C-alpha cells in the first residue's frame, strides 16, 4: 500500500510544520481528504486558527472554521504522523547572509518526533545542498535514525504567490524530489492527490532546490533592469509606463514592471544563491548587481519626492507626508521584508515622520515589528505629499473626490510608485 493510500484510508496522518503563508494552504488542502496535524511554535497563531481566524488571508476565515486540521503547538503530536511537510521561513541576517535558524529548529523538532518509516519533505526555499547537508544531519542526530534507511527525505519547493487568488497550490505544477527512486514516487503520489496541475519529478534534491531559487532570482534581475530603465527614463523626462506598453506589443518582450522588491522570496532568495556561489569561489556579478539596484529603490523614490518638493518651493521644515501601503505586495497583509519601510526611514533622515495607512495589515504586528501605528484612511487629510507605495485594490479605485480629501489647499504632490492613480492635471505627479 502506498503512503497516499494509507492517508486516504485514514491509516496514517500527515503533518505540516510551519503554518504561515505557505504551510497553512497546504494543510487546509490536504485536510479535505486526509487527517492532518498542523504544527506551529507560535501558540497565538495556533489559537487564532482554532477560533477560525486566518491572519494570512490566504485561506480565509470560512475555510479555517470548516477545516478538520488538528492545530497544535505540542510537538509530541507529530509522533502520530507518517508524512511530514516542513514549510518554515528562510530569512536573511542583517548582513544579507542566509539565516537557517528557523529551518534548523524545525528539523530538531521533527527529529525528536521521527519514527522508522516516516517521510520528511522540505518546502522552504534554500540554496542547493541545504536539505541534505544541513537538515538531514539534524534529523539523524535528534532521532538516532539513519536517513535513507530508517526514514526518507525529499524536497518540493513552494510556489505559492501570496495574495494571488488565481495561481494557487492546486493549479501550479509541483516540482518534487526524493532521496531515492522509491521516495520520489511516494512523495509525488502524495502531492498529486491535491495538485491538479500534476508534479514534475527531478532526479535529485539539489536540482529541485536549484530550480526554485533561480525562479525568484530571475524575476529579481528582470525587475532590476526595469528599475534601472525607470531611473534613466526619468532623467530623460520619459514616461516609463508608456515605454513599456509600447515595447510589450512585441511578442517576445518580457512584461516586467519597475517597483519595490521585498517579501520573503524575490528580495531574499538571490542572496541565498550568491552566498553559496561565493563559498565556492565565484562572485555572481549579475545577480548582485540586480540586488544592489532593487535594494536602493526606496531611497531613490524618496530622493525624487524631495527634489519635487524643493522644485515646487515646498517647505521641508514640517511637510505632511503620507505613505499608502506598507505590505511587500498588493492585497496581502504580509509585511515581511517589505521595502516600503526603506522609504519611511529615508523620510526620517530628512526629519519627516510620515503617516502610514494600510487597510489590510494587522496593526498590532506593525507596531511590534516597526514601532509605529498604522492610521486609518480617514486620517489621511491636509497632506502635502501622498506616496502610493502598494497597489492595494482600495487605492486603485480612488475617486477624484477621495483623492482630493487627502490633501490641503496648497500644491498637491502624488508619488505613484506602481502607476495606479489617475490624477487631475492640477496635481504634481511622479511615478516610476
> Which residues participate in catalysis according to the annotation?
265
First to last CA, the chain: 57
Neighbour-count burial for 192-220, b at 16+ CB within 10 Å, e otherwise: ebbbeeebebbebbbebbbbbbbbbbebb
Q: How far is CA 53 from the centre of its chain?
A: 20
By C-alpha distance, which of 234, 237, 266, 243 is closest to 337? 266
SS3 404: helix
Q: Which residues contact 410 (CB under 8 A, 6 or more apart)?
A: 314, 384
Q: At what angle do helices 269-279 and 205-235 cross, to 10 degrees?
A: 110
How far apart are alpha carbons 104 and 51 in whole angstroms?
A: 29
DSSP 18-74: --STTHHHHHHHHHTTS-EEEE-S-HHHHHHHHTT--TT-SS-HHHHHH---EEES-
Q: Which residues contact 237 (CB under 8 A, 6 or more apart)?
A: none
> Cβ atoms within 10 A of the Cβ of 12, count?
21
Helix and strand numbers, DSSP H then E, in the chain? 17, 13
CB 7 within 8 A of CB 14: yes
SS3 121: strand
Count of alpha carbons within 13 angstroms of residue 287, beta-carbon side: 22
How far apart are alpha carbons 394 and 380 in whole angstroms?
A: 14
CB 48 within 8 A of CB 55: yes
Q: Is the dihedral of CA 192, 197, 202, 204 positive or negative?
A: negative
Amino acid at each position: 500500500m502506498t503512503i497516499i493510500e494509507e492517508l486516504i484510508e485514514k491509516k496514517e496522518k500527515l503533518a505540516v510544520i510551519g503554518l504561515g503563508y505557505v504551510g497553512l494552504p497546504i494543510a487546509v488542502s490536504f485536510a479535505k481528504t486526509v487527517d492532518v496535524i498542523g504544527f506551529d511554535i507560535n501558540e497565538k497563531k495556533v489559537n487564532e486558527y482554532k477560533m477560525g481566524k486566518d491572519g494570512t488571508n490566504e485561506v480565509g476565515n470560512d475555510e479555517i472554521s470548516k477545516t478538520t486540521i488538528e492545530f497544535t503547538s505540542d510537538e509530541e503530536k507529530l509522533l502520530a504522523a507518517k508524512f511530514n511537510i516542513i514549510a518554515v521561513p528562510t530569512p536573511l541576517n542583517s548582513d544579507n547572509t542566509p539565516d537557517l535558524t528557523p529551518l534548523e529548529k524545525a528539523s530538531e523538532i521533527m527529529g525528536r518526533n521521527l519514527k522508522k518509516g516516516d517521510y520528511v519533505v522540505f518546502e522552504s526555499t534554500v540554496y542547493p545542498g541545504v536539505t541534505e547537508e544541513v537538515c538531514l544531519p539534524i534529523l539523524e542526530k535528534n532521532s538516532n535514525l539513519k536517513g535513507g534507511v530508517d526514514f526518507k527525505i525529499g524536497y518540493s519547493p513552494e510556489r505559492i504567490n501570496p495574495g494571488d487568488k488565481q495561481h494557487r497550490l492546486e493549479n501550479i505544477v509541483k516540482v518534487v524530489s526524493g532521496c531515492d527512486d522509491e521516495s520520489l514516487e511516494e512523495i509525488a503520489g502524495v502531492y498529486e492527490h491535491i495538485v491538479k496541475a500534476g508534479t514534475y519529478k527531478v532526479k535529485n534534491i539539489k536540482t529541485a532546490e536549484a530550480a526554485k531559487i533561480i525562479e525568484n532570482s530571475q524575476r529579481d534581475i528582470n525587475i532590476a533592469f526595469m528599475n534601472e530603465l525607470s531611473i534613466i527614463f526619468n532623467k530623460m523626462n520619459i514616461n516609463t509606463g508608456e515605454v513599456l506598453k509600447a515595447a510589450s506589443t512585441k511578442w517576445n518582450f518580457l512584461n516586467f514592471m519597475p517597483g519595490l522588491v521585498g517579501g520573503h522570496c524575490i528580495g531574499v532568495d538571490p542572496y541565498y544563491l550568491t552566498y553559496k556561489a561565493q563559498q565556492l569561489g565565484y562572485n555572481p556579478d549579475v545577480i548582485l548587481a540586480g540586488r544592489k539596484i532593487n535594494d536602493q529603490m526606496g531611497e531613490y523614490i524618496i530622493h525624487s519626492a524631495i527634489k519635487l518638493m524643493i522644485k515646487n518651493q515646498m517647505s521641508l521644515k514640517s511637510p505632511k507626508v503620507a505613505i499608502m501601503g506598507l505590505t511587500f505586495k498588493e492585497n496581502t497583509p504580509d509585511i515581511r521584508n517589505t521595502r516600503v519601510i526603506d522609504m519611511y526611514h529615508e523620510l526620517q533622515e530628512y526629519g519627516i515622520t510620515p503617516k502610514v495607512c494600510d487597510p489590510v495589515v494587522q496593526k498590532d504586528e506593525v507596531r511590534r515589528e516597526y514601532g509605529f501605528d498604522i492610521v486609518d484612511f480617514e486620517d489621511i487629510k491636509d497632506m502635502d505629499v501622498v506616496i502610493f507605495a502598494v497597489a492595494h485594490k482600495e487605492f486603485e479605485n480612488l475617486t477624484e473626490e477621495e483623492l482630493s480629501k487627502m490633501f490641503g489647499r496648497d500644491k498637491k504632490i502624488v508619488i505613484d510608485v506602481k502607476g495606479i492613480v489617475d490624477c487631475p492635471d492640477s496635481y504634481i505627479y511622479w511615478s516610476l
